[in-house]
Structure 1
């Protein structure tokens, strides 16, 4: 059947065939020198290394590397010496909260990140009511650095409880959530429990599937507690997540989530390539196979990250190969029909076969690649993880409406392309439907590739910024328009005008648009996904991936992690009911995707509508929202 079954384990077979020809290893230099009052690693450039790769290796910002090695900006040479600054580790994160004894023998607790009234009360074995009574001026919401008096008559300083981890991370909630398990006692009520933890009754019910039958003595329920001074929009820190102790979570170990992963691994083909590879020769594997391996590794990383929360998963990995027979065999496999979730396939010709089968058998499918919008209609078990172009255009219009009202907005429509017309209509429809009274209506101008810009000139303004929106994926039309617009702004009449262009995601990869135009026109584009390699969480992910698989992750690893982590989190939290998760809390920022999943309509599937807006600045893409 071509299935590789894994339950809580890491497959080494795929990694072995990948490493046979593609292992890439870098070692951090042990040669440390002192200069300019600081310590530096002395790194000797090896064959194939880049400034970006070296910066990632040493976990430093690329700009910091260039600041200390200005010659590196012009390119690296073999055996060139690069000095990487050693950044001292901030140990403040690892220090425990200071405990001070005042003149009355009471303890003064200094609030730190992650503290709540509940966690402080448990640490010192006092009640929340007692804490509030001796701190009458304390705010309802604690602030970092705030002093809290602990009543001395209630303190046992020889038995202060130390938290299992600092700021425990809950992989099932937001980045500012911590989950505690509460065992219901006799005569306890929703009200008494809510006061004990300083949370609302509705939040207790929401995270425990409603508790429709009320509370039962001895029942264990989950309590969601918010941390102090925490950024809700931040991406989860994988390293903290994996360091969380099992005892923080108490989910059912009996529930097994069965996941089927459908990828073109092409195992037989790669075996043949390796078997027939001449000695000492480099025999590249199929590119789809390599991408599938990266995707597979991302799924494994997601599973490992959720094990600490109690995830019990059976992972079936199927090789879809490159033919219809393989798909037929997979669909006939007795294990496949037991799946709670299917991720894949990749090839468009296989997607309809799999999604039709899964729709018939009520199995949720998440498609990792872009699929037509009509594929979601009348299929409640299909999720499109990549936002549609109409969705991205709508988000671009939403962002535009938030900009200053005095801007001059002009919509340029490519009237020769049906798809471009639909994108322009989507932008204009959302813009006009949500237009506040303070904003002027949108000026819409239809053009062709051969049109001059005389129609646009009539509407340009010299005293405000001119926002030119061009929702087109037609390379010819876009290239001609940008060239003509550049010529226009270089004329005497318009050289002092201010311009900003809004385009489409595809523009990022259009080689026919000069990079200087993207920067000079402050190009804004919506993106369905992008990895921020400068973020600390991404750097942590790379280090863990490198440690686990001995090579760096690629884009497909991050995509797979986001898909698997988000879906498995939902299946675990809502007892393998993905619909409930989608309807309540399927929103977060991943490594690649912004997750914001919603149902297209009551009889159709789901689409991820998470989109970020980026702007070109100094030849870099800067996220704006």
Structure 2
């Protein structure tokens, strides 16, 4: 029995030691010590100690062992200041080296060389007379800012709190290491202990901008069109402090991207169902079934393969059916009407005349622009929400939901991501003539970028290739970001192959500097998915882009994938997954809010298998989805970049 208890004690002690090493320490109270003194010693607050040692509030006895939360420690910055007092002469012997002398006199090798400049060009020799500097060493302790607590208000994000208390977002995160990516209403934060009247107010009549790395007043003038004097007048204290990375600036109201991105809280609507009344939805797709020959199975299969509209409609509809089944299992009662628009506006008009849409809660589709426009305009009077599965640049009537993010959102996402990367040392823009406008637009964002154009023949015809010498000279040691703007698979293959060959590891022996290359694009298209493209090259280049959806992991335990494979004996493609995701989102918004319009405020961000939805309302119009993924190639797979 004694051996059993001994083993048990060893296990407990071992476990405690592991925890202590990672997050906690212990302190044995000495006679006369106070909680304030102990807290000061470990750079924490008395309340941090009381949280883990509640008995210490009543009485602090000598020899009591307190648990100290090391993760709460806010240690002051200590700067070592050396003041030269004089020199000591030293004559070197045969076996002495700069390293041994530095250790003997408690100085650095560089300090010895600095005061004996002949050593920069000559090695240390026996008999050299050296001046060894003698320093007075002083530790300067930077006082830790006193903090107070602050309770997060509704819809308040990190940048608003940081601006209110005159600090950067990074400084706010440093004060609150466990605050999380998204602030919650009622969350308590540590903030600088300033007077209430010193707190800044976010004025909605102005815009706000987060200063990015390497941005000065001149670059801000080019980017947001605001002079230094205006910035200093709107931001008291800026003249004295200058610009700091992460600083939030008040600027005149502008449509220019602010550089401020706040993560929205992802909501799982399946946990919020409150309305179990039957919901009525309609799905409109261009099946064009009247064109199908039903005389043989082979004939039907052949038609499906040849008709892109039928093919797309069947895929999307298969995902819709799996969503309906999943919603029924959640207790949701649905009435679903499916209409074949035949890819004809006339057929849509006929459907609208022959069917009553007054009690329809939402319409998904049609897929094609003209037919969607007709349905949306016809149902505008009934204020029936109409959700576009794939369209963009639609007429955003007040009843329209554009579920596919716009190309501008993709562009802004990747551009802002690159701007925020302080490690980027060089930017190159490669493009063909069809993407000249895109390249010129990028130059406005990255005015120091170098441009490389696709080669042309003597007649000026685009050849869709570059030579290695065209781009080699534009690269620099360090991190290079190369924008590739093209719709040509040949150019995409050519450029990615050349860039892969130009990646260079550091080699100190040969004097080679490291050359890192990251390939990005503002417009991901089929050119980057063709058979000519090497995924190995894209992975080596960490190919990065913004996308409306991210590929799911087929190995993951996903109920949709398992259910789909069980029914259709094949894995779902992106169209089927979009059908599932969109149907789930539309119906769940109907049963968790009073209507879809209300759900925009109550469900800021929803996410399903491949797609996510964060709708914003246009000032005088409908709703657009601003949720986009940032993804990259890594180890021959496409992974999401967490931000």
| Normalised TM-score (structure 1) | 0.51
Matches within 5 A, 1:204-353: 251-254=274-277, 256-270=278-292, 272-273=293-294, 275-277=295-297, 283-287=301-305, 288-307=309-328, 310-353=331-374
**Partner SS, residue 499 of structure 1:** strand
Distance 1:397 1:297, change over 3 A: same
For residues 142-194 of structure 1, what are the alpha-carbon distances to aligned partners after superposition, in whole Å with 9 as ceiling and x for unaligned? xxxxxxxxxxxxxxxxxxxxxxxxxxxxxxxxxxxxxxxxxxxxxxxxxxxxx
**Partner SS, residue 536 of structure 1:** coil
Match of 1:618 in 2: 635
Distance 1:549 1:619, change over 3 A: closer
Match of 1:559 in 2: 578
Match of 2:223 in 1: none
| Alpha-carbon shift at residue 574 of structure 1 (Å) | 1.9
Aligned partner of 1:392 among 410, 432, 449: 410
Which consecutive residues of structure 1, in runs of 5 or more, have no partner in the other structure?
A: 1-134, 139-198, 203-231, 242-247, 433-440
Is the 2:612–2:628 contact (alpha carbons within 8 Å) kept by the matching residues of 1?
A: yes
Matches within 5 A, 1:112-127: none
Match of 1:367 in 2: 388
Provide the C-alpha distance between the structure 1 equivalents of 2:282 and 2:414, rounded to a whole number of angstroms. Answer: 35
**Partner SS, residue 466 of structure 1:** strand
| Alpha-carbon shift at residue 612 of structure 1 (Å) | 1.8
* Structure 2 residue 429 is matched with structure 1 residue 406: no
Report the number of matched residues.
Answer: 370
**Partner SS, residue 286 of structure 1:** helix
Distance 1:257 1:395, change over 3 A: same
Match of 1:6 in 2: none
* Structure 2 residue 443 is matched with structure 1 residue 421: no
Provide the C-alpha distance between the structure 2 equivalents of 1:328 and 1:593, rounded to a whole number of angstroms. Answer: 31
**Partner SS, residue 359 of structure 1:** coil
Aligned partner of 2:449 among 443, 446, 467: 443
Is the 1:449–1:476 contact (alpha carbons within 8 Å) kept by the matching residues of 2?
A: no
Distance 1:269 1:396, change over 3 A: same
Match of 1:587 in 2: 605
For residues 5-44 of structure 1, what are the alpha-carbon distances to aligned partners after superposition, in whole Å with 9 as ceiling and x for unaligned? xxxxxxxxxxxxxxxxxxxxxxxxxxxxxxxxxxxxxxxx
Rg larger in structure: 2
Provide the C-alpha distance between the structure 1 equivalents of 2:511 and 2:380, rounded to a whole number of angstroms. Answer: 60
Match of 2:479 in 1: 465
| Alpha-carbon shift at residue 454 of structure 1 (Å) | 6.8
* Structure 2 residue 401 is matched with structure 1 residue 383: yes
| Alpha-carbon shift at residue 428 of structure 1 (Å) | 6.3
| Normalised TM-score (structure 2) | 0.50
For residues 475-523 of structure 1, what are the alpha-carbon distances to aligned partners after superposition, in whole Å with 9 as ceiling and x for unaligned? 4654554455456669999995221111242143234434443233221
Provide the C-alpha distance between the structure 2 equivalents of 1:527 and 1:257, rounded to a whole number of angstroms. Answer: 31
Distance 1:424 1:608, change over 3 A: farther
Distance 1:235 1:444, change over 3 A: farther
**Partner SS, residue 615 of structure 2:** strand
Does 1 or 2 have the higher relative contact order (CA < 8 Å, sep 6+)?
Answer: 1
Provide the C-alpha distance between the structure 1 equivalents of 2:432 and 2:569, rounded to a whole number of angstroms. Answer: 51
| Alpha-carbon shift at residue 474 of structure 1 (Å) | 4.7
Is the 2:428–2:449 contact (alpha carbons within 8 Å) kept by the matching residues of 1?
A: yes
| Alpha-carbon shift at residue 268 of structure 1 (Å) | 3.8
Is the 1:505–1:527 contact (alpha carbons within 8 Å) kept by the matching residues of 2?
A: yes
| Alpha-carbon shift at residue 261 of structure 1 (Å) | 0.3
Match of 1:523 in 2: 543
Two-structure CA RMSD over aligned residues (Å): 4.1
Which consecutive residues of structure 2, in runs of 5 or more, have no partner in the other structure?
A: 1-51, 56-183, 188-263, 457-465
**Partner SS, residue 379 of structure 2:** helix
